[in-house]
């Protein structure tokens, strides 16, 4: 289980990226999503706040779509 966070600031394409707590790109302006076994439920949780959420290419590559 890892701790997941969503960036409160959108990327240029409008996505709010989901990161693990150990990601080198973990933003300081973030919302905690909780602990999950993988990125899919974390992105689902992030979409409750930000409908355009996406996994980080570095730490959540399985959930990175754009």
> CA 58 to CA 48: how far, in whole Å?
22
Instruction: Read off the pLDDT band of 4 (50, 70, 90).
Output: very high
The average pLDDT across 2-25 equals 97
| Contact call for residues 55 and 64 (beta carbons, < 8 A) | yes
Strand pairing partners for 20?
4
Is 80 exceeded by the pLDDT of residue 2? yes
Q: Give yes or no for a contact between 61 and 18, defined as CB atoms under 8 angstroms apart.
A: no
pTM to 2 decimal places: 0.94
Based on its alpha-carbon atoms, the radius of gyration of the chain, rounded to whole angstroms, reads 10
Q: Under 8 Å CB-to-CB from 44, ≥6 apart: which residues?
A: none
| Mean pLDDT across 5-13 | 96
pLDDT tens-digit series, residues 16-60? 999 999 999 999 999 999 999 999 999 999 999 999 999 999 999
Give me the pLDDT at residue 8, please.
98
């Amino acid at each position: 289980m890892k701790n997941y966070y969503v960036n409160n600031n959108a990327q240029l394409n409008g996505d709010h990226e989901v990161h693990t707590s150990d990601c080198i790109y973990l933003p300081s302006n973030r919302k905690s999503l909780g602990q999950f076994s993988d990125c899919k439920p974390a992105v689902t949780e992030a979409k409750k706040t930000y409908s355009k959420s996406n996994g980080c290419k570095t730490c959540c590559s399985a959930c990175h779509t754009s």
